[in-house]
């Protein structure tokens, strides 16, 4: 979690980029008519008062081949800070209906078999993402913040990062992010993930989606994460959950509006006295409409006393019904409702009131308000705002929400009656439970849910996201500033040259040689040996290799050079050709610790044990990540008590768990070296947590360098492992 303390950010422009602009454009006569669409997103983003200069980039929702018309639309919208990206019918067909809605959408909703793949879908998806990028490049300046919305634009973050420097980029995924087993199905899985990695912050509705994404980044791109941070190139990409909310006041107060009240009365009168279960969704297979109808049919069949008492009011908003899959779904819904109504309807009661059309906002609010229950049964849903809107719009009236556990909203609305929509019995039972629930209980549960959603509003969602994005940007900037470039190299060179006595401490694995799967193969090459020889030949220099390796290994490769060596994380050091002990506590002679570690090795393929004089190490570089994480926790738990008893410390390193004697670390050795003489240039280079002990032990003016990644703990970083090149340029004042 990044530091969210108030930031001194210079507020620049905020650019929202989404597939659609928040408006409808039409041309009934000679002139264009623009109608603003006031969805939740528009409200949330509109509330971001910290950013007065807000722009929106997106498709205007109208096709035109006429340049004059396009120019006109652009001119009309620019004063509203809306910037159109014009797309052809074919582009919308292939990028939106095609790749977005026939590949990504079914996959993210676990409808693997519904995928339809055509090469031109993917080609157009890339082309349209590029068009969005081109429009954005014309408008966005360094320092601006960009917030990209949803799965139609997954390639855009990386495209923008490449084109414009110094911007902060956020991406929010409104739909579920599936488990790796599903995501791996996508032929372009790596490209999509790399596209997203261009962002500084990637947001999801729930922690589950976030977890799936981090796992996909590891399995597809091999990217390691540290909790919610993924290291990518020389940046940190943050991943977090931001559950989207609604405009709470608007929905809570809706019934105070005269028009809504009028409609509510009218509807109540027309529906008669029976109880109403309400559902509102777009026509989509993910929404569980068929499951709901089956559940309701079973409820009526098994509980005849409720026939004539309870109706299902179903609002299905038309969507994509020119696509076969959707047309089939519609036919199935029509048939099921037809047969259900045919079977049970009476002259004054219908089991299902079915509306295949959208309702004006006031009517929708009236329906929410009079409905006794909301029956929300998606088989997968990113969040589901309808559930939240219903709870708010009921105001203080008792109502009840029946909610699928497959909706993101279920993570927050725990007081709802939670069901698995695939279990038709559960839908029937939930209806019975809701019908029989005492009024007081309903009121209590609805109130608790109202409290939750009144806090987590859409405005808070937008504010939380942008605040975190700004904070991450400033953290990434700080980290970027640490990367050794021309300016900092010059500075380091200057103090190197000026110095009369220098202490240079170098870690070995991951600093002088790359980390490889088999540590025996990590041996120094000729170039490294020559560089070290050259460095040590300067009589002003004391050069030390301070490593976790044992004395034998270091002697084998470095005894021919005029270097000081320190082995086993500072437990032993070699000076003037002789090994000395730095150990304060001896490692116990019995086998208790090695037995525990050996057991872990036996059940973890790819891992191994290393027994050194002062420590025993469990290496897991070659293991499956998930299994290694599990075993790591188990091992630390198992080691805790014996280590406390034997006065040993457990240390987590880079893909290792090391048990060692207390009071010895690389920092102790660095301190010993610094106390042994006076230096006017002290430098330490290292790549992992054990090296940070050295960094901490050093005075503030020392040159501490993190190699291979970026770090909070070192003054500088060399994100690529090019220590040899760096050391050479240090000595020769050359370039990096």
For ligand GDG, the closer of residues 385 and 684 by Cβ is 385
Residues pairing with 33 in the sheet: 26
DSSP 588: P
Give the interface with ligand GDG as residue ranges (CB under 6 A). 40, 174-175, 244, 280, 282, 315, 317, 358-359, 361, 364, 381-386, 389
User: Distance between CA atoms of 408 and 695, rounded to whole angstroms?
Assistant: 44
Least distance to ligand GDG, CB of residue 142, Å: 30
Element (H, E) at 685: strand 681-686
**Burial class of 437 by CB neighbour count within 10 A (0 to 12, 13 to 18, 19+):** middle
Q: Tokens 């390193």 belong to which residue?
A: 653
| Rg value, the chain, Cα | 32
CB atoms closer than 10 angstroms to residue 566: 30
Least distance to ligand GDG, CB of residue 385, Å: 3
For ligand GDG, the closer of residues 352 and 513 by Cβ is 352
CA atoms within 13 Å, Cβ hemisphere of 45? 22
Whole-number Cα distances in Å, 108 to 197, 274, 365, 691, 696: 18, 38, 30, 41, 45
Least distance to ligand GDG, CB of residue 23, Å: 15
Residues 6+ apart with CB under 8 A from 549: 508, 509, 567, 568
User: Distance between CA atoms of 581 and 572, rounded to whole angstroms?
Assistant: 5
Report helix, strand or coil for 109. coil
Least distance to ligand GDG, CB of residue 40, Å: 5
Give yes or no for a contact between 175 and 209, defined as CB atoms under 8 angstroms apart: no
Q: DSSP string covering 459-481, please?
A: HHHHHHHHHHHHHHHHHHHHHHH
Max Cα distance, the chain (Å): 105
State whether the Cα torsion 349-350-351-355 is positive or negative. negative
CA 398 to chain centroid: 37
DSSP 586: P
Q: Tokens 């021309």 belong to which residue?
A: 486
Structural tokens at position 723: 């220590």
CA atoms within 13 Å, Cβ hemisphere of 404? 27
User: Distance between CA atoms of 130 and 136, rounded to whole angstroms?
Assistant: 10
For ligand GDG, the closer of residues 278 and 545 by Cβ is 278
CA atoms within 13 Å, Cβ hemisphere of 208? 18
Least distance to ligand GDG, CB of residue 201, Å: 16
Least distance to ligand GDG, CB of residue 71, Å: 32
Whole-number Cα distances in Å, 654 to 217, 509, 709: 19, 10, 12
Q: Please tell me which residue in 284, 507, 665, 693 is annotated as part of the active site.
A: 507
> Which residue intervals of 417-457 are DSSP H helices?
424-436, 439-455
Residue 233: active-site member: no
Report the first-to-last Cα separation within the chain, whole angstroms: 33
CA 339 to chain centroid: 45
> Which residue intervals of 303-397 are DSSP H helices?
324-344, 361-370, 385-393
Enumerate the active-site residues. Answer: 507
């Amino acid at each position: 979690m990044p530091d969210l303390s108030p930031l001194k950010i210079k507020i620049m422009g905020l650019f929202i980029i989404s597939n659609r602009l928040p408006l409808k454009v039409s041309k009934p006569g000679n002139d264009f008519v623009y109608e603003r669409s006031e969805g939740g997103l528009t409200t949330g983003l509109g509330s971001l008062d910290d950013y007065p200069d807000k722009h929106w980039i997106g498709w205007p929702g109208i096709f035109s081949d006429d340049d004059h018309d396009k120019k006109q639309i652009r001119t009309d919208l620019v004063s509203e800070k809306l910037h159109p990206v014009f797309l052809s019918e074919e582009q919308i067909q292939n990028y939106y209906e095609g790749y977005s809605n026939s590949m990504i959408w079914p996959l993210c909703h676990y409808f693997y078999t519904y995928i339809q793949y055509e090469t031109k879908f993917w080609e157009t998806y890339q082309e349209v993402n590029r068009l969005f990028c081109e429009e954005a490049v014309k408008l966005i300046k360094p320092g601006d913040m960009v917030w990209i919305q949803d799965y139609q634009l997954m390639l855009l973050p990386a495209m923008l990062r490449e084109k414009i420097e110094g911007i902060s980029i956020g991406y929010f995924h409104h739909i579920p992010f599936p488990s790796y087993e599903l995501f791996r199905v996508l032929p372009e899985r790596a490209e999509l993930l790399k596209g997203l990695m261009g962002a500084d912050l990637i947001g999801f509705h729930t922690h589950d989606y976030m977890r799936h994404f981090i796992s996909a980044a590891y399995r597809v791109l091999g990217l390691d994460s540290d909790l919610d941070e993924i290291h990518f190139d020389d940046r940190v990409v943050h991943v977090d959950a931001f559950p989207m909310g609604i405009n709470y006041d608007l929905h809570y107060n809706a019934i105070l509006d005269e028009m809504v009240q009028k409609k509510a009365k009218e509807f109540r009168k027309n529906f008669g006295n029976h109880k109403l279960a309400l559902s509102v969704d777009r026509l989509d297979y993910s929404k569980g409409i068929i499951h709901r109808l089956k559940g309701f049919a079973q409820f009526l069949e098994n509980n005849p006393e409720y026939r004539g008492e309870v109706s299902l009011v179903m609002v299905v908003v038309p969507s994509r019904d020119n696509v076969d899959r959707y047309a089939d779904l519609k036919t199935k819904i029509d048939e099921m409702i037809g047969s259900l109504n045919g079977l049970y309807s009476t002259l004054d009661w219908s089991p299902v009131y079915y509306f295949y059309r959208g309702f004006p906002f006031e009517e929708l609010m009236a329906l929410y308000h009079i409905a006794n229950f909301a029956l929300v049964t998606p088989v997968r849903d990113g969040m589901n705002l309808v559930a939240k809107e219903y709870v708010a719009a009921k105001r203080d009236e008792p109502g009840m929400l029946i909610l699928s556990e497959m909706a993101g909203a279920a993570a927050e609305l725990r007081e709802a009656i939670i069901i698995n929509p695939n279990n038709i019995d559960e839908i029937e039972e939930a209806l019975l439970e809701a019908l029989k629930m005492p009024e007081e209980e309903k009121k209590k549960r609805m109130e608790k849910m109202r409290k939750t959603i009144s806090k987590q509003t859409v405005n808070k969602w937008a504010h939380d996201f942008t605040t975190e994005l700004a904070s991450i940007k400033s953290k990434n900037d700080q980290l970027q500033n640490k990367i050794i470039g021309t300016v900092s190299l010059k500075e380091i060179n200057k103090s190197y040259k000026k110095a009369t006595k220098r202490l240079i401490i170098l870690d070995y694995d991951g600093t002088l040689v790359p980390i490889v799967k088999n540590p025996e193969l990590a041996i120094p090459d000729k170039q490294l040996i020559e560089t070290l020889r050259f460095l040590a030949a300067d009589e002003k220099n004391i050069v030390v290799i301070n490593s976790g390796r044992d004395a034998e290994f270091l002697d084998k490769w470095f005894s021919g050079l005029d270097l000081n060596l320190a082995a086993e994380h500072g437990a032993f050091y070699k000076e003037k050709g002789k090994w000395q002990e730095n150990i304060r506590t001896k490692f116990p002679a019995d086998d208790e610790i090695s037995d525990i570690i050996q057991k872990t090795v036996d059940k973890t393929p790819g891992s191994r044990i290393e027994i050194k004089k002062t420590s025993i190490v469990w290496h897991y570089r070659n293991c499956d990540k998930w299994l290694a994480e599990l075993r790591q926790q188990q091992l630390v738990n198992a080691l805790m008590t014996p280590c406390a008893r034997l006065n040993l410390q457990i240390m987590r390193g880079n893909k290792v768990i090391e048990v060692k004697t207390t009071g010895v670390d690389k920092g102790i050795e660095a301190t010993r070296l610094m106390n042994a003489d006076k230096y006017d240039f002290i430098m330490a280079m290292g790549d992992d947590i054990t090296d940070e002990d050295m960094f901490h032990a050093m005075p503030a003016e020392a040159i501490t360098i993190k190699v291979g990644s970026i770090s909070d703990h070192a003054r500088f970083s060399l994100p690529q492992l090019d220590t040899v090149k760096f050391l050479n340029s240090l000595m020769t004042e050359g370039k990096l």
